[in-house]
Structure 1
Amino acid sequence: MLQKFIQHINTNFPFLKDVKLLLAISGGLDSVVLMHLCNQLNLQISLAHCNFKLRNEESDLDEEFVKKIGQISSNQIFTTYFETEKIAKNKQISIQIAARELRYNWFQELVLEHQFEFVLTAHHLDDSLETFLIHLTRGSGLDGFTGIPAKSGNIIRPLLAFSRAEILEYAIENQLEWREDSSNATTKYLRNNIRHQVIPILKEINPSLLDSFANTIQNLQDAQQIIDDKIEEISANSSFEKDGMVFFDVSKIKQLSKPKAYLYQLLKKYQFTEWNNVLDLLTSQTGKQVFSKTHVLLKDRDFLILSEIPIKKKDSAYVEILETQSTISTPIFLNFEENPSKKIASKNSISVAKNLLKYPLILRKWQNGDYFCPSGMQGKKKLSKYFKDEKISLIEKEKIWLLCTAENEIIWVINHRQDRRFLANSASENSLQIIYKS
């Protein structure tokens, strides 16, 4: 197996050489073998072990074992522990999901703190087969049947080309010691149920099951790549980005042979789940929205607009600005300069007659009933009508800030249009330049 592993690294992961690596180690068979193989190749590995406090003394003995083999192999080792069951209960998620989130978040903290290039995990071919069957029982698109990825961001899984039988044979040949996790024997969890009751039957039917599975996974990955290439082409033709949002042309999406399937491929990474509702947006009235955990998809006239759901901040939506202040940085950045030697002409700046301003100035979001007198236009205009005429979407409107006088008169729809009532002119003795920086 060592020679096969060396060839595998040279062919598929040559970038692992001469960089700092963090290896996730439980103390079990797979991670111990991965550690041994990496040390044989003189890769620069440090070890990371999580004690999830789920098996009482057994969990603590796992931690002691990992510390021991780390010392013997002269590998630097990091350990931590989590009250996993308590955390899962508080977050109302399963223990397995909680453990996964905890360990991967901790790995990334170590990466940042110690400048590791990649994190290595010991997933193998049998794990990939189990994941495939889990997705099969729950239902999935093609991407759910392409196996565990060998590389995902900075996570590398160099044992995916090897079966558990190969790994066990290597451990026995090299007289390696490892810890057995007693929870792996129970059929309480779906993965273990598939491992102990389903896969053995499949292997009886086809003794070459893993070889056949590896070929199938390769074929499915090739098919997924063709889909990805097509989706990239469709995305370039039917969408564009602006101000951190993605705009999808409804008419072009409707022309596709399978709009729902294309929408799934275009939007799957944004964690949407209600795909019938997403499809219905194509024929919905303006203003209809569909939410995922992280994003919102809005129907706005001829477009579906995708934007991230903003994280609520403590920044107030109503800020007073004193006459003595030359800058503010929260919740947005504004710079105030009296009688500037050089005036900047752009939508990011305005010049006003300071004697017409009444302090403290107010920075706020727009409200129903707001109106202003747009520069370059006659009369006054409701802000809602201005937004509509300028084709500013519902999502964009929520991001717009207004600069107002103490009497709540709009001075500037920031980064869009100034109110002409406060314009500085040649007769203005004291002008004030206000610059917005995004």
Structure 2
Amino acid sequence: MNSNDVREVVRQSLADLGVPDGSRIVVGLSGGIDSWTLLLTLQELGQDVIAAHLNHGQRSEAAQQAEMLGTECDRRGIPFVPGQADVPRLSQDQGVGLEEGGRWARYEFFERVAMAMQADFIATGHTRDDRLETVLFHLTRGTGPAGLVGIPRRRGRIIRPLLDIDRNDTREFAKEAGVPIIFDPSNEDLQFARARMRHRVVPELQTIHPGVRRNVARLADLMAEEDALLNGLAAAALERAEIPLNGDLRFLTLDCEVAFDRNVLLREPPALVRRGLILAAQTLGGQFSGEALDQLVEGLLEEEKGSLTGREGAVVATWEGNRLHLEDGLVDEPFRYPLVAPGETESEVFGWTITVQTATGENPARPPRHLDVMVAARAAQGMHFRAMEAGDKMTPLGMDGHRLLSDMLSEAGLTPRARRRIPVICDLAGPIWVPGVAQSERTRVEGDEPAWRLNMAPLAGA
């Protein structure tokens, strides 16, 4: 494949990926042959490219090499953004290997550059060889259709336009372009699994069939299509089994918990049940190991109740009776903030907004669990919101005697997570309104006295 062929393949790849002409693209530039080929090809095709290079903090010559890359980019009229990371320390802190730690650091850096430069896409120089190696890795570790995809062509705004090009082709392209090449010694170091795969396993496979790269790439593309189809079917199965949580306040915990009717879910084919559980866990930011997933499915089939924790405690599944509940493993910290009055207060963390407006007139007839109320201005000095605290009490509107907020939140059918997240609106004397649950009698508006109108709603997009 000559240079013109490479450009044509990349041009077609961009079209297939839905990348418009003139898009601003952050290109991960390691200085190797693949990343140089990607950067220069995108520039020649008229894309607005930005080179992003991360020094992993592993080699003494890395700073000098970054300076050399910056000089070459400047000569070619390409903006160059360098970055620095301590990958050995990061890997140790996260309890992962250097390869995984470096991968995490790079993508985090690319995302920061893309945000700062207002880029449309992030492009990495993975080739057909990288895809083959990744599929083989997944096979050795145990995988399903998703693992056989290897490296996806697109994930969000991350694109890989070189997946139909072999490393031999990028080597020739970079040589012809005359760019300074940085050779990563880890690519030749057989203590790393990827280097052993590249230099020992792949050559043997080529002796079995010389078209192994192209054939595995074709398999990966087929698996990508089938994986997307199965994910759609599994998502539909989850939707049929989902149990709505927290009524009108469901937006409080959309990002951290979900529940399903166990009996409805288990009527689905086992393959969709397993895939659905994987999707649900991913939505909450966690995942189950293969062994844990088997235990979860077995528990749902055979045990009245139980619980299981995913990898690193990021997701927890509990089941009892006909209900399966999944929740992320995060702990919500107590909170306390002033309420803007008049004005609007937003919580991006919990996905809501509370609007406070001046008003007059008696309390309108509304259900006690409404998200829109009027409170007397005389009883709303120093308004703020906070998490519920032990012993919080209120005399609900139209009732006699105090009641514990914890009892009222439980009676309202809120999950424990929602009870920890719901904002309790207070004045200097204590709670005056719990949205969707109760309003204090002492905030009743009499006649046409001054009042505040409070309205709680989900944040746009929540």
Question: Which TM class, normalised by the smaller chain length?
Answer: 0.7 to 0.9
Higher relative contact order (CA 8 A, sep 6+): 2
Q: 1 CA distance for matches of 2:338 and 2:231? A: 49
Once the two structures are superposed, the pairs formed by residues 346-361 of structure 1 within 5 Å of their partners are 347-352=370-375, 357=379
Question: How far is the alpha carbon of 1:192 from its aligned partner?
Answer: 0.9
Q: State the Cα deviation string for residues 402-435 of structure 1 (Å, max 9, x = none).
A: 3457665x5433332224x425264x68564351
Contact 2:186 2:192 in 1 (8 A): no
Residues 1:44 and 2:62 are matched in the alignment = no
Shift of 1:189: 0.9
Q: CA deviation at 1:159?
A: 0.7
Larger Rg: 1
Amino acid of the residue matched to residue 162 of structure 2?
Answer: L
Are the aligned partners of 1:289 and 1:299 in contact in 2 as well (CA < 8 Å)? no
SS in 1 for 2:143: coil
Counterpart selection for 1:119 from 117, 122, 129: 122
Cα 1:29–1:386 shift into 2, 3 Å = same
> 1:183–1:375: structure 2 CA closer, same or farther, 3 Å change rule?
same
Amino acid at match of 1:105: E
Is 2:216 the counterpart of 1:216? no
What percentage of aligned pairs have identical amino acids? 21
Residue pairs, 1:27-426, within 5 angstroms: 27-57=31-61, 59-172=62-175, 177-239=180-242, 242-243=250-251, 244-245=253-254, 246-258=258-270, 259-269=273-283, 270-273=285-288, 274-276=292-294, 278-279=296-297, 280=299, 290=309, 294-297=314-317, 299=319, 302-307=322-327, 315-316=335-336, 329=345, 340=360, 347-352=370-375, 357=379, 363-367=385-389, 372-375=394-397, 383-403=405-425, 410-419=431-440, 421-422=441-442, 424=444, 426=446
Q: Residues 345 and 85 from structure 1, CA distance in 2 versus in 1: closer, same or farther, beyond 3 angstroms?
A: farther
User: How far apart are the structure 2 equivalents of 1:287 and 1:329?
Assistant: 40
TM-score calculated relative to the size of structure 2:
0.78
* CA contact 1:125–1:210 (8 Å) conserved in 2: yes
Task: Calculate the aligned-residue CA RMSD, in Å.
Answer: 3.7
3-state SS in 1 of match to 2:54:
strand
Alpha-carbon distance between aligned partners in 1 of 2:322 and 2:439, rounded to the nearest angstrom: 28
Q: Encode CA deviations 1:271-318: one digit per residue, 9 max, x unaligned.
A: 2224256444687778957466555555587544445556756844xx
1:158–1:226 CA distance, 2 compared to 1 (3 A): same
Distance of aligned partners of 1:31 and 1:325 in 2 relative to their CA distance in 1, 3 Å threshold: closer
* Change over 3 Å in CA distance of 1:186–1:337 after alignment to 2: closer
Whole-angstrom distance in 1 between the partners of 2:67 and 2:380:
69
Contact 1:123 1:160 in 2 (8 A): yes
Using the TM superposition, give the Cα deviation of residue 325 of structure 1 relative to its aligned residue in structure 2, in angstroms: 7.3
Distance, in Å, in 1 between the alignment partners of 2:135 and 2:88 is 27
Query: How far does residue 125 in structure 1 lie from its aligned partner after superposition?
Result: 0.8
**How far apart, in 2, do the equivalents of 1:41 and 1:337 lie?**
54
> Aligned pairs, how many?
429
The amino acid across from 2:82 in the alignment is: T
**Distance (whole Å) between structure 2 residues aligned to residue 201 and residue 180 of structure 1:** 24
Give distance in 1, aligned partners of 2:391 and 2:361: 38
Structure 2: tracts of 5 or more residues without a match: 245-249, 458-462
Deviation for aligned residue 1:326 = 6.2
- Unaligned runs of 5+ residues in structure 1 are none
Change in CA separation of 1:6 and 1:166 when aligned onto 2, cut-off 3 Å:
closer
**Does the C-alpha gap of structure 1 residues 120 and 406 become closer, same or farther in structure 2, counting only changes over 3 Å?**
closer
Distance 1:395 1:300 in 2: 17
